[in-house]
Amino acid sequence: MGTSFAERRFVITGASSGLGRRLALDYAAPGVFLALTGRHAERLAETAAEVRHKGAEVVTAVLDAGDGPGMKAWLESLEAEGPIDILIANAGVMTGPAADDALDGFDAAAGLIRTNLLGVVYAVEAIAPFMIARRRGQICVIASTASFRGLPYMPAYAASKAGARIYGESVRGRLAPLGVSVTVASPGFFASPMTERFHGDKPLMVTTQAAADRIRRALDKRAPRTIFPRRIALLLRLLDLLPASVGDKALGDLAVRIGADGGAR
């Protein structure tokens, strides 16, 4: 429990770009071991090269977070070489209905749920038994402020992140007595390739560095939650308490479009 971050072994999913990449670079230091996954081989290799340059040991796997058997096998192979101290389940994609479509579409909706929700579940289910056995470890689930209210311009995304947040909140209570701490992070807009594909208002957007700093501080303290900006989360919670027609109209009036590939990381 007293081990410093400079001596720890991390797994970060979705480390090809954005928040996952920033966290990998911020944690990179001599003595640190970082296991990084992502779906984009070239970008993942670039992240790994920068991590090595900072003195950390790094291994990578080009792996879809939604590949449950693949994720389980990879995490088990890492554990066989040494205990994983911190899992950051960050992999995610963002898409929404095209301008002329009512819904996300079957394949897009299924892909969002598979990556954003099942990707978290697969990683946690694979690593938690090892942490429980040694009665120590930390897990961070990256959700979103979009999880606090259904959003008509990104229904499947909001649902996937709501599922990830509630899953993280649920397992936190079960794992705490077993020595494993769980932090659920719900960021709002932060600068990233994924956010660039979101065409609409981005209230209170912060830099990727600021988002990574908030999450690192939460992990340092083993905080159960970090939500930022809180004003966005509170507004969405308020809209959820109002009559549905009022909340639906307020959110439906927003002119929003999201790029087709959603900035997968």
Q: Known catalytic residues?
A: 157
| Closest to 40 measured CA to CA, from 76, 107, 98, 93 | 93
What is d(CA 103, CA 109) in angstroms, rounded to the nearest whole number? Answer: 9
Task: Give Cα 112 to chain centroid, integer Å.
Answer: 13
Can you give the chain as a three-state secondary structure string?
CCCCHHHCEEEECCCCCHHHHHHHHHHCCCCCEEEEEECCHHHHHHHHHHHHHCCCEEEEEECCCCCHHHHHHHHHHHHHHCCCCEEEECCCCCCCCCCCCCCCCHHHHHHHHHHHHHHHHHHHHHHHHHHHHHCCEEEEEECCHHHHCCCCCCHHHHHHHHHHHHHHHHHHHHHHHHCEEEEEEEECCECCHHHHCEECCCCCCECHHHHHHHHHHHHHCCCCEEEECHHHHHHHHHHHHCCHHHHHHHHHCCCCEECCCCCCC
Would you say 128 and 171 are in contact if contact means Cβ atoms under 8 Å apart?
Answer: yes
What is d(CA 262, CA 92) in angstroms, rounded to the nearest whole number? Answer: 9
